[in-house]
A and B are shown apart, each in its own frame.
Chain A
Amino acid sequence: MTAFQAGAGYSDGRREEARRPAAIALDHSDPESKRIIVGFGFWIFLLSDIIMFSAFFATYAVLSGETAGGPSGKDLFDLHNVAIETACLLLSSFTCGLAAIGARAHNGLMYYGGMAATGVLGLGFLAIEIHEFVGLIAQGAGPTRSAFLSAFFTLVGCHGVHVTLGILWLLTMIAQVFAKGYRADILRRVLCFALFWHTLDIIWVAIFTVVYLFGAGA
């Protein structure tokens, strides 16, 4: 990455394509390809997103026992639903990987099929989650009931919002590849989308362990 800075003094706005001769580069290696720089930058964003989630996790862990006389996780959580949600997200991570391979190989069947399956599985996950939230609120266990439920809805809801945004992004990427083809800049966006989607699955692993399995067993 350091070699990239060597071209920072040039104001032509095309640094990523500049391959400076050795006399100008301060480092002996060339600038990295743009795909690597974009992927690395997006990876940094994802790590910062994970750090934001860790604050919600810490809040939940501190408040998980503060039920204010209301229902606890053991009374509320239905592990069958959680298992189905987990299966949806895990399979969608797999199909998202297939779509990423399809995009790299310019294979329409793999790309569109993988993306469509990912979207359907993501929507299935969201449907179960919304159904769970509606059920909780209907039985008087909404986010205002106790500190435990406030923290629960914040953490799990924040993940749900991420999945919703991910599905919107997914639809955008299907449309962009359809309209513009497998162009380098479009494929960089597909790469970032795949990273985003896999990261949502990683956060879900932490959620089903910390929130649901701990909560149901406590």
Chain B
Amino acid sequence: MSSTDDYQPLHGGDHAPGDEPVGRHEIAEGVVGYLVGLGLAILLTASSFFIAGTALVWHPSIPIALVVLAVAQIGVHLVFFLHITTGPDNFNNVLALAFGVLIVFLIMVGSLWIMYNMNQNMAPMAMPMG
């Protein structure tokens, strides 16, 4: 199997995660894609660090803003660096990602929810023992 064979989906079907979409083989175009991703990521990162240390915004809103910025940046990384897009040739990659996100969500929210409730219920017992 020659190396050029390996890049072409046989009938334009799927493409591998991380690969450029078929037809964008020119170096300059690829570099521009990564540059756009880098610019957006720098913008979002700088916003995150700025908001975390600023007194300009209402304080309780900061954690929510940080989560939104982080999710946006992860989206930028997925699209511009890993080339996970919503195109029809990317369906399997997106489907796997969606399942991964579901499991991550269940683990994070489930753990926090259960442990918060257990902490609440344990609080009265801890007092006399301490």
Chain A residues packing against B (C-beta within 8 Å):
1, 17, 19, 29-36, 38-40, 42-44, 47-48, 50-51, 54-55, 57-59, 61-62, 79, 83, 86, 90-91, 93-94, 97-98, 100-102, 104-105, 107, 110, 182-184, 187-188, 191, 194-195, 198-199, 201-202, 205-206, 208-210, 213-214, 216-217
Contact = CB atoms under 8 A, between A and B. Distances in A.
Given A62-B115, A201-B81, A50 B14 contact: no
A90 B100 CA distance: 23
Nearest to A215: B52
A217 B31 contact: no
Given A35-B16, A100-B18, A217 B107 contact: no
Given A61-B108, A86-B45, 16 more contacts: A33-B9, A36-B16, A39-B15, A40-B16, A47-B99, A58-B112, A62-B111, A86-B49, A93-B38, A93-B77, A97-B34, A187-B6, A195-B82, A198-B82, A209-B69, A209-B70
User: What are the 4 A-B residue pairs with the smallest beta carbon separation, nearest first?
Assistant: A39-B16, A47-B100, A58-B111, A97-B34
A20 B17 CA distance: 25
Interface in B94-116: 96-97, 99-100, 103-104, 107-108, 110-112, 115
Interface size class of B (residues with CB under 8 A): 35 or more
Contacts of A32: 9-10, 13-14
B14 A36 contact: yes
Given A62-B111, A206-B70, A44 B96 contact: yes
A182 B16 CA distance: 18
B63 A40 contact: no
A202 to B, nearest CB: 5
A83 B53 CA distance: 12
A90 B81 CA distance: 11
Contacts of B107: 51, 54-55, 58
A33 B82 contact: no
B1 A17 contact: yes
Given A33-B6, A35-B6, A97 B67 contact: no
Contacts of B20: 101, 104
B38 A90 contact: yes
B100 to A, nearest CB: 4
Nearest to A58: B111
Given A39-B19, A94-B38, A213-B52, A34 B111 contact: no
Contacts of B27: 101-102, 105, 107, 110
A209 B63 CA distance: 9
A51 B99 CA distance: 10
